[in-house]
Amino acid sequence: MHSHHSAKGLVSDLRPVEPVTLVRPHAARRAARYFVENFPGKSLYAVKANPSPDLLAILWDSGITHYDVASIAEVRLVARTLPEATLCFMHPVKAEEAVHEAYFKYGVRTFSLDTLDELDKIVRATGGAQDLNLCVRLRVSSDLAQLSLAAKFGAEADEVKELLMATRQAADALGICFHVGSQAMSPHAYVQALERVRAAIVEASVTVDIIDVGGGFPSTYPGMEPPPLADYFAAIDRTYEDLPISYSAELWCEPGRALCAEYSSLIVRVEKRRGDELYINDGAYGALFDAAHVGWRFPVELLREAEGEEQAFSFYGPTCDDLDHMAGPFYLPADVKAGDYIEIGMLGAYGCAMRTKFNGFGSDVGYTVSDEPMASLYLGDQRPAQGATVTALFPAG
C-alpha cells in the first residue's frame, strides 16, 4: 500500500499517466454528522449523486440511515451494501416491475409520485398494500438554484387537490415532497416551496404525515459561494413549524451534493497547451461532465511551485469529440505547461457517477487522502492543510 505526504508528493513519486481520484472519507463523515446533528428532521442521502459503496458505508457509519434511491439498480446496490438501511424510492416515474421488486423483495415502503396513473401503478404493483408511505411531488420554482429541476417532475397546481385526496386514501402515511433545483443559492427557495405546500394542504384538506424538502443543498465552488447551511436549516424549520400538518408529522430532506461533493477530487495531467487551452487526460465523458455540459467551475490547483500571475484557461478532454470541452474559466499560473499535474476539486458529487469509457479513456485508479478538500461549507474560511498523508485505496495493478 503506497503512502505519500501530499498530492504533490504522489505526483512527484508516481508521475501517473492516467487520471487519479483522491477520496476524503473524513470530509464525507463531517458532512454527514453536520446534517444528522443540525437538520431539524431526517436526512436521506440521494444515492444518484455518488453511488460508491465505500461512501455509502461511510455515511451509514456517520448516522445516515435512510437513502433516496431512484432506480431498482440503486435499490439493489444499497440493499446489498447496507442491509439494514431504509430505502425510499423517490423517482416519480417507475416501472411497475421495479415497484413490485422493491416492495416485495427489498421491503421498500416509501414511494413518490406526481400523477394519478403513478398512484394506480404503485397500488397495483404492491397488491393494494396498506403500509405505504406515499409522497406526492409538487412542481415548485427552481429560480434560486443553479440547475433547474422544475420541468420534468411535479404535479401542477390544478392537479394537486385530486391527487392528494386520492393518495390519502391509498397511503398509510401521506407525504408531500418537492425539489427546488440543484445548488440552491438562497434559503428562500425552501420557504417559497413550503408556502406552496401550505396552499396545497389547505386546498385538499388532508392530513399530511411527511414533509420532504428534497435536495438542492449547496456546496461551494468558484463564483458560487452560498450562505451557511445553518441559514437553510433555520428557514426550513421556521416555515415547517407553521404548516397545517399532523402533530406527529416528520420533516425529511434528501441531500446529495452537500454530503459528497467534498469527498473526492481528481488529479489530471496536461498533455498539451495551445494558448489559453489546456488538453488534459480527463473530461466531459469522464469525471468532468458538469464542467463541460452545464459550465460548472470547479476549483483547480497546479501541483507544483509556480511564480507570477494566474490567468484564465479552458480545458479540452482526451477524446476525439469537440464536445469534450470545458470552458471554465479555470484560473492557474500563467506558466502551466505540458507534463504538469492539476488537482480539480469538489468532484465527489456526480463526477464519478457519470464517468464513461468513451474512446477508451478513463481510469479507476484512486487513493485516500487525509488533507482537507479544496473548498468546504463545513470549515468556514480554513484552507486545506499541506503535507497530509496519502494512502492507496485502489492503485493500478
Are 220 and 146 in the same domain?
Answer: yes
Please state the length of the chain.
397
**pLDDT, tens digit, for every residue of 259-301?**
999 999 999 999 999 999 999 999 998 889 998 888 899 999 9
Chain position carrying cell 458529487: 349
Domain count, the chain: 2
Confidence at 187, pLDDT banded by 50, 70, 90: very high
Are 92 and 158 in the same domain?
Answer: yes
Pairing between β-strand 366-369 and β-strand 390-394 as defined by DSSP bridges: antiparallel
Give the residue-averaged pLDDT of 121-131: 98
Which residue range forms the structural domain that includes residue 18?
3-23+263-394
**pLDDT, tens digit, for every residue of 74-83?**
999 999 999 9
Confidence at 5, pLDDT banded by 50, 70, 90: low
Cis before 329? omega within 30: yes
Are 203 and 224 in the same domain?
Answer: yes
Are 159 and 298 in the same domain?
Answer: no
Q: Which of 260, 292, 318 is the last residue in one of the domains?
A: 260
CATH of the domain at 367: 2.40.37.10
Q: What is the pLDDT of residue 266?
A: 94
Q: Is the pLDDT of residue 385 over 60?
A: no
Catalytic residue check, 253: no
Q: Which of 204, 230, 260 is the last residue in one of the domains?
A: 260
Are 139 and 198 in the same domain?
Answer: yes
Are 186 and 210 in the same domain?
Answer: yes
Stated pTM of the model: 0.93
Are the C-beta atoms of 307 and 316 separated by less than 8 Å?
A: no
Query: How many Å apart are CA 167 and CA 347, to the nearest integer?
Result: 38
**pLDDT, tens digit, for every residue of 336-377?**
999 999 999 999 988 878 888 878 777 888 898 888 898 999
**pLDDT, tens digit, for every residue of 129-141?**
999 999 999 999 8
User: Pick the catalytic residue: 88, 177, 253, 320?
Assistant: 320
Are 82 and 141 in the same domain?
Answer: yes
Q: Of 84, 95, 86, 94, whose CA–CA distance to 133 is shortest? A: 86
Q: What is the pLDDT of residue 293?
A: 86
Are the C-beta atoms of 5 and 387 separated by less than 8 Å?
A: yes
**pLDDT, tens digit, for every residue of 21-54?**
999 999 999 999 999 999 999 999 999 999 999 9
Are 231 and 287 in the same domain?
Answer: no
Are 269 and 222 in the same domain?
Answer: no
Are 104 and 247 in the same domain?
Answer: yes
Q: Of 287, 339, 284, 291, whose CA–CA distance to 313 is shortest? A: 291
Q: Is the pLDDT of residue 387 over 50?
A: no
Are 41 and 101 in the same domain?
Answer: yes
Q: Which of 260, 290, 318 is the last residue in one of the domains?
A: 260
Half-sphere exposure of 2 (CA within 13 A, CB side): 21
Are 239 and 323 in the same domain?
Answer: no
Confidence at 4, pLDDT banded by 50, 70, 90: low
CATH of the domain at 221: 3.20.20.10
Q: Is the pLDDT of residue 172 over 80?
A: yes
